[in-house]
Structure 1
Amino acid sequence: MKRDGHKENRKADAGAAASGSNASEPTAQAAFASYAAPLVSDAIAYANAVRDDPSPEALHKLRVSLRRLRSLWWAFAPLLEKGENTRQRALYKYLATAAGKTRDWDILIELIRHEDSGAGSVAPTLEKARGDALTTSRETLTNADVKHLLRDALTSASTDINTAHERVPLRKFANKRVAASERSLMKRAKRARHAKRSNYAAFHDVRKAGKKLRYLLEFFEPVLSGSHKRTLKRLKQVQKRFGTLNDIVASEVLLRDNAGLFAGSGDAADVLQWLHKERKRRMRSAAGLLRKL
């Protein structure tokens, strides 16, 4: 789990490869591997670490790396064969979901531990459920053979992108894809602003669109026109506030879906009541931020 120490160096290397030192402007096709290969390496390393490290942080890093891969593949979708791109993005989602099933229990346990939610006797049951989920997550990731799946996906995408005769300037391509992602975010934010307060799905769509735009800005920042620092700062605010809302909603759903584990427990009912109140409070907070987008 020491790969984070080299994150900034890898980012600088990718930016240098993308910007290029030659007089000719780099192409999106030529730059793809410099973006994708480090992300694939990270995801493989985190998947391997999950086998030995049961901590919430290991699973979180794996899920984030897979989400970043999905966003990168979305960014390069215009240069990829549609069917293959759809399958590869579905693969990243499947693997992230496998890790996420354990991560959801981690979030619920963390919320109960740090908030006055009346956890009481449910804590041991939550820990056992988390352990069972971790076993399933590990089995799924091991059986999926993440290393070969991701390397094959990278090879396939690289071959697909570089067989095209037409070449697209990277700067033009990056600006266009970021603009498309920004439009998507604004469209979803508008929809959420006019949605009923109980319509969490609209808020969740904003969170996903904001996260994708943030990843694209981080990928392409060295070659984009103009400065995007203010946008990145605002997106981090959105991600933080909407992320805390998502944690509450996901935890409430998880607890209700597993009600049988807590049959007869008054503490579980207390936790659900607390989560319900928190969801309303954080929905109001998220709605307030939406008006500033």
Structure 2
Amino acid sequence: MKHDDRAHDVADSGGEAQAESTFAALAAPLVDEALSHNASIHADASPESLHQLRVALRRLRSLWWAYGPLLDRQENTRQRALYRFLADAAGKTRDWDILLELLAGEKNETNENGEEGATCVTPACLREARERALAASRETLVNADIRNVLHGALASTSKELNTAPERHALQKFAAKRVRAAEKSLRKRMRTASRAKRADYDLLHDVRKAGKKVRYLIELFGPVLDDVGQDQTLKRLKKLQQCFGELNDVTASIALLRENTSLFADETEAHAALVFLKERRKACRREAVRLLREA
């Protein structure tokens, strides 16, 4: 399905760029990127291709959030829910990849301590579970007809924006939406930092809000006031890395607990859980430290 890509950057000859007419130019590359990574996981589902597919879908979700005030609320909510569903489909396999990477790290740490008999081989039962998750992810994405879904969403949203009676200057609109995302982030950071104990759900909310701010700055970067923009992105990336590690370990603990029956050796499953809990404790401590310094 083709979309109209004419005059996305400029309202009219000599005019100011409009938010409505620029939407497709922002969304189309993300759609192409998502479809490219989707094709990759059908050919060779590496952990990186799954991760990049999720990132592209999350960026699309953030872009649709940014344009929410200009769109039909119900339809916009449906589109964003769809991107989340597709990202979660890829995420089920990615969660297994993260767990396997963390457990391989456990073996590496053991090797560095000089203990004999430690290897980087993860239990075959977990690798088999990962393959089953991959088959389910592929089936979900195929049945979702992701190509037509994404092109259809791009075309329908572009049409809605381009036929709207009102027009908004892109620079002013972008700055306003970034400020709204930043305000939400600050609110979540204050709430999390004031908690009496490290609350994972509150820290997770900070992580999601930080991602949205980062994605919007990257998407709208060329039209934003660039004063302090690089430093903001640098701080957000540092925060995201730390909070992302905490999220990975927490999700891995939940996944392992759901699948301890896969282990032939109960002792091995217990040792893996102990290792992950220690990692989570360290990650949570670092996340709280960064939050209070921010």
Q: What TM-score do you get using the length of structure 1 for normalisation?
A: 0.90
Moved more, 73-82 or 224-233: 224-233
Aligned twin of 2:182: 182
Alpha-carbon separation, structure 2, partners of 1:229 and 1:179: 16
Question: Which has more helix, going by share of residues?
Answer: 1
Aligned twin of 2:261: 260
Counterpart residue identity of residue 231, structure 2: R
Residue 30, structure 1, aligned to residue 21, structure 2:
yes
* Unaligned 5+ runs, structure 1: 1-13
Residue 40, structure 1, aligned to residue 31, structure 2:
yes
Q: Deviations over 1:106-144 (max 9, x none)?
A: 001111112347787862111011010000000111111
Aligned residues of 1:181 and 1:209 also touching (Cα < 8 A) = yes
SS at match of 1:219: helix
Residue 76, structure 1, aligned to residue 67, structure 2:
yes
Aligned twin of 1:6: none
How much does 1:263 deviate? 5.6
Alpha-carbon separation, structure 2, partners of 1:247 and 1:19: 42
| 1:181-260 superposed matches below 5 A | 181-227=181-227, 228-260=229-261
Instruction: Select which of 82, 87, 92 maps to 2:78.
Output: 87
Percent pairwise identity? 53
Q: Deviations over 1:140-174 (max 9, x none)?
A: 11111100011111111111111211100000000
What do you get for the CA RMSD once the two structures are aligned? Answer: 2.0
Aligned residues of 1:238 and 1:289 also touching (Cα < 8 A) = yes
Counterpart residue identity of residue 102, structure 1: T
Residue 109, structure 1, aligned to residue 110, structure 2:
no
Tell me the number of residue pairs that the alignment of Structure 1 and Structure 2 aligns.
279
Of structures 1 and 2, the one scoring higher in RCO (CA 8 A, sep 6+) is 1
Alpha-carbon separation, structure 1, partners of 2:63 and 2:82: 13
When Rg is computed on C-alpha atoms for both structures, the one with the higher figure is 2
How much does 1:48 deviate? 1.5
Aligned residues of 2:11 and 2:18 also touching (Cα < 8 A) = no
Closer/same/farther in 2, CA of residues 234 and 22 from structure 1, 3 Å limit: farther
* Unaligned 5+ runs, structure 2: 111-117
Aligned residues of 1:18 and 1:170 also touching (Cα < 8 A) = no
Alpha-carbon separation, structure 1, partners of 2:128 and 2:51: 19
Alpha-carbon separation, structure 2, partners of 1:53 and 1:21: 45
How much does 1:38 deviate? 0.8
Q: What TM-score do you get using the length of structure 2 for normalisation?
A: 0.90
Alpha-carbon separation, structure 2, partners of 1:238 and 1:24: 39
